[in-house]
Structure 1
Amino acid sequence: MTRDAVQNKRSESTRILFMRAIEKLAAEKGLANVTTKEILDEAGQKNQSALQYHFGNKNELFRAVIKRRTLQLEEYRLNLINQWGDTFTDENAIDILIIPLVELSTKTVSGHNYVAFLAQAMTQPKFEVTQMIERYDIPGLGKSVDHLRNSIREKNPDISEELIDYKIASIFDTVMLSVRRFSQAKKLDLKKSQVIDQLRSICLAILNSK
């Protein structure tokens, strides 16, 4: 391995330490309460310029976490789409939102932390799903959102774009916050399949409401 390759690998490892640090801290104390010093300490970085070197600032670190996990979830979504073949129903469009998050939140501690992180990120004033789809090239999620939009229009021909946006946002919020609660619950007597089925039913009710 060349010197540059070693340096790049070390740099990427440090970036991942930073990203896992902010996920963990956000899960423990809330995204708005996380300081730069705490991120540095959690990532095991003594040099205060390390964050600036790798990301620029805390906001750019925030965006890097979203991008990394978004692409990770997108791989899962595309696998689901391939499994379904030419079939793509309302249920499929909603399952794409639910299943990858449930799986991620229950597989690893870092996945659990990210779900808590993302649930808080979605409350930020400038967080928009459509902008995220365009910025990070995530066609699987884009296919889901496009299908939901078209389905809502077919069911309600006179509906306004604002109400369509509201319905889709309500579906996203329901999925995100419910998966977060499921991943945090210590004594909840529910299987993953039950959570997925319940969430699907709730989201379909929102989708089909007048």
Structure 2
Amino acid sequence: MKVSAAVASPSPRSTRARDKLMHAAERLYAEHGFANVSIRMVGEAAGQRNKSAVQYHFSTRDELIQAILARHAAAMDTHRIPMVAALEAAGEVSLQEWITCVIEPTIEHHIELGTPSWYGRFLAQTVVEPSLREYSVQAHLRTPSFRRLEKLRPSRRHERDPEVGARSAAMIRLLVVHMCAELEGDLAEGRADPAGAEQSWRRLGAHLITAICGLSTALLENA
């Protein structure tokens, strides 16, 4: 049985409502944390009169959060895909080139979001929330570009000790997520000049690449 286009595709009105709910939820969770924000608060902040608007569009809070994560992961994927293609064409990939391909798409996405933005602080909330941590990680690792990038990883010596590999990944993830959240907060709250936001983001990106190269090298050498 064929599903009609009207049923299969959400209406423009429904799409707008979903977008408003996602933006409102991202901001509220970023500023107040998950424990302090109710589904009803999200609907009210999004201007939805129906008290069940969130449940209508997303069924559950976690589904709403997953949709926000997926949207940002897809946006970063558009930056990473051409970078991965260039590395694939080059053949041999250095550790710094590989890490640059991990970090730069994240930085470019933050720049595109403008100031103020809430994604960095929202993501920082998800990676420390037990019920959401694994999904927040996989939402990024399972993107098409990251799966291709994994095949280009220049050194797999850590596979001899899976514990070291997992710990290294966790250290890198937390460093990137929380440093981005900190800069985003500084820009949003005036502790850093919003006029120089792009330069601040690019400087952070360069520092993260340097720090992660050093961290990765040290861990691999001692694996």
TM-score tier (shorter) = 0.7 to 0.9
Gaps of 5+ in 1: none
Deviation for aligned residue 1:56: 0.3
CA distance in 2, matches of 1:152, 1:33: 42
2:207 is matched with: 198
CA distance in 2, matches of 1:167, 1:123: 17
1:151 is matched with: 155
For 1:18-167, list aligned pairs within 5 A.
Answer: 18-87=21-90, 88-109=93-114, 112-126=117-131, 127-128=133-134, 131-132=138-139, 137-148=142-153, 151-153=155-157, 159-167=160-168
CA distance in 2, matches of 1:109, 1:45: 25
Deviation for aligned residue 1:38: 1.2
**2:148 partner amino acid:** K
TM-score (norm 1): 0.82
Note the aligned Cα RMSD (angstroms): 2.8
Q: In the TM superposition, what whole-angstrom CA distance separates every residue of 1:134-159 from its partner, at most 9, and x where no partner exists?
A: 7xx512122344544x6241xx57x4
Which deviates more from structure 2 when the two are superposed, residues 26-35 or residues 39-48?
26-35
| Matched residue count | 202
- Asked if 1:168 is matched to 2:169, the reply is yes
Kept in 2: contact 1:76–1:100 (CA 8 A): yes
CA distance in 1, matches of 2:210, 2:177: 15
CA distance in 1, matches of 2:102, 2:37: 28
SS of the residue aligned with 1:191? helix
SS of the residue aligned with 1:31? coil
Q: Report runs of 4+ in structure 1 exceeding 6 Å deviation.
A: none
Deviation for aligned residue 1:196: 1.6
| Pair 1:168–1:111, CA change in 2 (3 A) | farther
Identity %: 24
Kept in 2: contact 1:99–1:196 (CA 8 A): yes
SS of the residue aligned with 2:35? helix
CA distance in 2, matches of 1:111, 1:151: 38
CA distance in 2, matches of 1:111, 1:74: 22
CA distance in 2, matches of 1:187, 1:132: 30
Deviation for aligned residue 1:84: 4.1
Q: In the TM superposition, what whole-angstrom CA distance separates every residue of 1:117-171 from its partner, at most 9, and x where no partner exists?
A: 112111122423664357xx512122344544x6241xx57x4112101101111
Kept in 1: contact 2:107–2:202 (CA 8 A): no
SS of the residue aligned with 1:119? helix
Deviation for aligned residue 1:112: 2.5
Kept in 2: contact 1:167–1:207 (CA 8 A): yes
Deviation for aligned residue 1:7: 6.1
